[in-house]
């Protein structure tokens, strides 16, 4: 095997290496919500993945140290919201530790199964949690889609290089 010119020296695996590599990976932005013991909870997620069409399953990751984890660990249902490029501030609010996520200007309502449903998103789903898989300092949550609405207007919000961005043509 020969070295390819132009490549830098590889680094050993570490949390910093993983974060550095995934900053280069553009990802759609979602907000996951749930009903918690003392009110609604939610967080911004870029780890949302479609798992299966039949049955309709998705997954997302959440850190066990996240403020939303205790509610996600106990609840049966979550809301999954795909954000539009006009919702950078909303994404930042749900990503910020200690933020008042469900106060003004966040517009939301109680949806099916008591799940908080955000207004003005590109799409939303209510999902029944079917599994929580340990994965290092996170849990991979598997959820079955119960119902949803894919008809919100606009274009998707992306996360890349530590910033929220719109999709360019």
Token pair for residue 77?
A: 């249902």
Counts of helices then strands in the chain (DSSP H, E): 3, 12
Exposed / middle / buried, residue 28 (Cβ in 10 Å: 0-12, 13-18, 19+): middle
112/25 Cα distance (integer angstroms): 33
What does the pLDDT look like over 65-123, one tens digit per residue?
999 999 999 999 999 999 999 999 999 999 999 899 999 999 999 999 999 999 999 99
33/117 Cα distance (integer angstroms): 7
pTM for the whole structure: 0.91
């Amino acid at each position: 095997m020969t070295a390819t010119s132009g490549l830098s020296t590889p680094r050993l695996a570490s949390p910093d290496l993983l974060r550095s590599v995934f900053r280069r990976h553009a990802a759609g932005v979602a907000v996951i919500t749930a009903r918690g013991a003392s009110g609604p909870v939610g967080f911004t997620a870029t780890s949302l993945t479609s798992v299966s069409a039949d049955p309709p399953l998705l997954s997302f990751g959440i850190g066990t140290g996240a403020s939303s984890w205790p509610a996600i660990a106990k609840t049966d249902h979550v809301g999954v919201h795909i954000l539009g490029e006009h919702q950078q501030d909303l994404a930042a609010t749900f990503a910020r530790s200690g933020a008042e996520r469900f106060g003004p200007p966040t517009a939301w309502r109680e949806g099916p199964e008591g799940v908080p449903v955000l207004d003005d998103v590109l799409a939303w789903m209510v999902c029944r949690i079917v599994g929580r898989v340990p994965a290092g300092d996170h849990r991979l949550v598997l959820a079955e889609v119960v119902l949803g609405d894919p008809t919100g207007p606009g274009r998707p919000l992306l996360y890349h290089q530590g910033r929220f961005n719109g999709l360019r043509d």
